């Protein structure tokens, strides 16, 4: 028989020997089963363990029973013109074969998402359907002999295998309903093709001798039972899918709500295309989820700064390109492979967490800016100055240009800041920075070192020192102009120190140090001027800095000693106390006088620890004296304006055991006016402790009567510059007499300093001066020489001067 004859025979069998109505029922049942099988198949691919086994069992049961039902409904539709029946044993056997092979085929195909698995699964499905069909044909009984045409049988098996394989390939993961319908339709076609081609392969030779038993299943009963059972199974499968879909949808809705609540963008990628995304990612891209679904992600929307592919758990940075040409967004991407039941990474879903880095980059830029620039004025800070100055030095060395370093210190800034508040101080600094920038042009630049200290680096093509002098003059004029703040003109000024490259140094460190030395000379010269660095400055400054280092170590090593100068009552010459005066016994330079190291201590900030050491030493020594004599200790301006001074004095008195009324603290008016209110607050707290307060060097400072009115001083000390000129200059004598009269009027005792002659003693006694101090009473001496005055019963009392009558001079 030729191929055409075989095709004709198959078509003749289908058109003349089958009931179309039942054929249509069989086709519908077959498609319903296959469609349901692919819906179950999609769930099975994403499951593991027992859940996967349950889905696999349900898939095999629904697809196997459905295909088997379609086969037997089609068999019932077959009318060869002879009496027919069906053996129960063969019928049940064919059902079990269908369920087994269909489950096995779908299981193999879902194990891995590869073409090989699809082919293997299709082969098993096709052979299973063929085995079910021809096993079922063995249960077919009729009044005749069934003769098979083997070539047509082989063709039917081939159609079944090809249809099943194509169905698996076309359906893929079968995640969408469209893929499920396509897979079900192709598989249904393969099953129907196998069945009807197989039916065209038989020829029945009538044989009246063959009797069809009555107990065999009849066509009507078989159709009803098969259709009912199969429908229930298919409905059960669809119900399971519906329940699972609803459960999954609810879970996905919860997950989506959580994902949409996330600050970071989340996008699910499948085969390089967007499968799903949360609201944050859509906002970043500027598109809706519908527009993004299915769009390529990598290269089109997201590009990475480094080459390669995203691996599980790897952090990468890239750029996100929003739609409509918006500016690219720097992002940080974390990837995670989401297991969808497949066993290869390429077939799984990749979840990307996309973090917008714009705020972080902005914060990093701000941190970088603050690390290199002053937060108040915007000028380069000290750290940035070093790098920019190094670059400027390299430039001038290569180009032959000139370079100058100008150190700037604002005059009277602290006074303005204290008087008008920190807001005024900040406004002044901002305005000063603006004026500096307006006074120079690139490549020259200005920087702020801190406080009220600024630096200008001048890079110029002109001759030096002419260019630096011209710029320094312009800077002084610019900084001398008043600054308006809240309707008030705040007047400042500046002192400038200038060093030149390469004359004053070839390194940044040397130039900065030398400019600072020149600035110190400018401030010493009256401020409001500029000074160029001179070599002799270097030697003087180095000497003072070396002395400051030695003094710092000397305080630690206790090289300092306290000398005590006696104070005596003018009335009888009896010693009533001592003033503590510090001396420095240097290990190599010998005894250094206070006039040499006290200014160094004030400049270097060592005056505070030095003053504290003297206070502790003097109080400890005085506490050990047998006589309860007073001890006077000088306070520096820095100590007086320190809020912790009363606490320190209280602690020293407790530690040494000295009675507070024996301690006398001496201050100058100039120190009082550094920070008037704070100083008065400290003095009141010291008075509350019981400590006595003396006004030292009265007449040399402001000599303001309001000061004596504001605070009840315990003593006034007339400066020795007036006392030593008694009877030498009439004005000096008149001033001393006036101060003594003022003291008597205010009931404040007056002490005369610098008393060196008997004539001075006689005059001061005659004017009722309270106490005397000077070489005529006693020179400063170390502690171990004071026994004659400090012991309770001295072996020999010092001689007393006879009191003369009151002088009329």
Catalytic residues: 753
Show contacts of 233-238: CB within 8 Å, 24+ apart: 233/61, 233/62, 233/65, 233/66, 234/29, 234/32, 234/33, 234/36, 234/62, 234/66, 236/58, 236/62, 237/36, 237/37, 237/39, 237/40, 237/58, 237/59, 237/61, 237/62, 238/36, 238/39
- Collapsing DSSP to helix, strand or coil, 449 comes out as strand
Bridge partners for 203 per DSSP: 147
First to last CA, the chain: 166
- Collapsing DSSP to helix, strand or coil, 450 comes out as strand
Alpha-carbon gap, residue 451 to 97, rounded angstroms:
94
Bridge partners for 471 per DSSP: none
Residue 660, classified by CB atoms within 10 Å of its CB into exposed (0-12), middle (13-18) or buried (19+), is middle
- Collapsing DSSP to helix, strand or coil, 326 comes out as coil
Give the tokens for residue 435.
């004026």
Residue 807 DSSP label: P
What is the dihedral sign for C-alpha 596, 599, 605, 608?
Answer: positive
3-state secondary structure 232-245: HHHHHHHHHHHHHH
Give the tokens for residue 322.
């929003």
Instruction: Please give the full DSSP string across 498-516, using - where no structure is assigned.
Output: EEEETTT-SSHHHHHHHHH
Please, how many CA atoms are within 13 Å of residue 376, restricted to the half-sphere of its CB?
19
Q: 274 CB contacts (<8 Å, ≥6 apart)?
A: 267, 268, 292, 293, 294, 295, 296, 297, 301
- Of 408, 445, 448, 406, nearest to 426 by C-alpha is 448
- Give the pairing type, strands 663-668 and 630-634: parallel
Alpha-carbon gap, residue 751 to 579, rounded angstroms:
12
- Of 536, 539, 544, 522, nearest to 408 by C-alpha is 522
Alpha-carbon gap, residue 339 to 749, rounded angstroms:
97
């Amino acid at each position: 028989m030729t191929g055409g004859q075989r095709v004709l025979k198959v078509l003749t069998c289908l058109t003349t020997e089958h009931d179309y109505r039942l054929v249509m029922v069989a086709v519908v049942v077959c498609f319903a089963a296959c469609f349901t099988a692919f819906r179950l198949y999609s769930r099975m691919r994403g499951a593991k363990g027992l859940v996967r086994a349950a889905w696999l069992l349900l898939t095999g049961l629904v697809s196997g029973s459905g295909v088997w039902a379609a086969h037997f409904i089609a068999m019932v539709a077959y009318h060869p013109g002879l009496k027919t029946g069906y053996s129960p044993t063969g019928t049940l056997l064919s059902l079990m074969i269908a369920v087994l092979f269909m489950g096995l085929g779908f299981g193999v195909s879902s194990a891995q998402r590869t073409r090989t698995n699809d082919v293997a699964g299709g082969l098993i499905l096709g052979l299973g359907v063929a085995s079910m069909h021809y096993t079922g044909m063995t249960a077919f009984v009729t009044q005749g002999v069934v003769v098979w045409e083997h070539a047509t049988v082989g063709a039917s098996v081939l159609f079944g295998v090809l249809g099943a394989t194509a169905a698996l390939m076309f359906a893929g993961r079968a995640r969408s309903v469209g893929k499920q319908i396509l897979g079900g339709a192709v598989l249904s076609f393969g099953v129907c093709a196998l069945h009807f081609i197989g039916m065209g392969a038989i020829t029945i030779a009538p044989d009246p001798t063959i009797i069809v038993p009555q107990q065999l299943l009849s066509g009507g009963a078989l159709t009803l039972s098969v259709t009912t059972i199969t429908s229930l199974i298919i409905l059960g499968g669809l119900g399971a899918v519906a329940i699972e879909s609803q459960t999954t949808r609810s879970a996905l809705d919860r997950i989506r709500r959580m994902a949409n609540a996330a600050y970071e963008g989340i996008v699910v990628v499948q085969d390089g295309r967007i499968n799903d995304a949360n609201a944050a990612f859509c906002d970043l891209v500027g598109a809706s989820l519908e527009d993004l679904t299915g769009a390529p992600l990598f290269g089109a929307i997201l590009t990475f700064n480094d080459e390669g592919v995203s691996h599980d758990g790897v952090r990468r940075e890239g750029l996100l390109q929003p739609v409509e040409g918006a500016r690219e967004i720097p992002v940080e991407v974390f990837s995670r492979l989401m297991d969808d039941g497949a066993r290869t990474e390429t077939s799984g879903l990749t979840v990307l967490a996309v973090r917008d880095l714009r705020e972080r980059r902005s914060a990093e830029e701000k941190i970088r800016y603050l690390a290199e620039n002053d937060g108040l004025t915007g000028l380069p800070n000290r750290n940035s100055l070093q790098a920019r100055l190094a670059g400027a030095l390299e430039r001038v060395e290569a180009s032959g240009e000139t370079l100058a370093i100008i150190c700037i210190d604002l005059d009277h800034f602290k006074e303005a800041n204290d008087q008008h508040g920190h807001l005024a101080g900040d406004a002044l600094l901002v305005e000063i920075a603006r004026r500096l920038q307006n006074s120079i042009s690139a490549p020259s630049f200005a920087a702020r070192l801190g406080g009220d200290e600024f630096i200008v680096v001048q890079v110029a093509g002109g001759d030096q020192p002419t260019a630096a002098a011209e710029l320094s003059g312009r800077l002084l004029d610019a900084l001398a102009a008043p600054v308006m703040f809240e309707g008030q003109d705040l007047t400042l000024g500046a002192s400038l120190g200038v060093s030149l490259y390469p004359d004053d140094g070839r390194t940044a460190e040397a130039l900065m140090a030398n400019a600072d030395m020149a600035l110190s000379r400018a401030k010493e010269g009256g401020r409001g001027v500029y000074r160029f660095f001179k070599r002799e400055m270097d030697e003087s400054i180095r000497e003072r800095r070396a002395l400051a280092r030695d003094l710092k170590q000397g305080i630690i090593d206790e090289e300092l000693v306290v000398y005590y100068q006696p104070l005596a009552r003018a009335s009888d010459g009896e010693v009533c106390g001592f003033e503590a005066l510090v001396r420095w016994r240097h290990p190599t330079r010998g005894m250094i006088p206070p006039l040499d190291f006290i200014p160094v201590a004030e400049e270097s900030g060592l005056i505070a620890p030095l003053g504290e050491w003297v206070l502790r030493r003097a109080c400890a020594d005085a506490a050990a004296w047998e006589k309860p004599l007073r001890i006077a200790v000088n306070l520096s301006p820095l100590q007086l304006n320190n809020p912790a001074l009363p606490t320190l004095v209280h602690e020293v008195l407790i530690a040494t055991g000295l009675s507070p009324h024996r301690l006398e603290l001496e201050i100058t008016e100039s120190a009082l006016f550094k920070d008037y209110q704070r100083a008065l607050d400290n003095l009141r707290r010291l008075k509350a402790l019981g400590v006595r307060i003396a006004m030292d060097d009265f007449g040399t400072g402001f000599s303001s009567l309001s000061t004596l009115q504001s605070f009840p001083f315990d003593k006034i000390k007339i400066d020795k510059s007036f006392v030593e000129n008694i009877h030498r200059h009439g004005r000096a004598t008149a001033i001393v007499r006036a101060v003594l009269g003022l003291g008597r009027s205010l009931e404040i005792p007056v002490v005369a300093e610098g008393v060196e002659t008997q004539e001075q003693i006689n005059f001061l006694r005659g004017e009722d001066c309270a106490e005397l101090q000077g070489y005529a009473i006693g020179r400063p001496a170390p502690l171990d020489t004071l026994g004659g005055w400090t012991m309770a019963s001295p072996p020999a009392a010092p001689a007393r001067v006879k009191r003369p009558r009151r002088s009329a001079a």
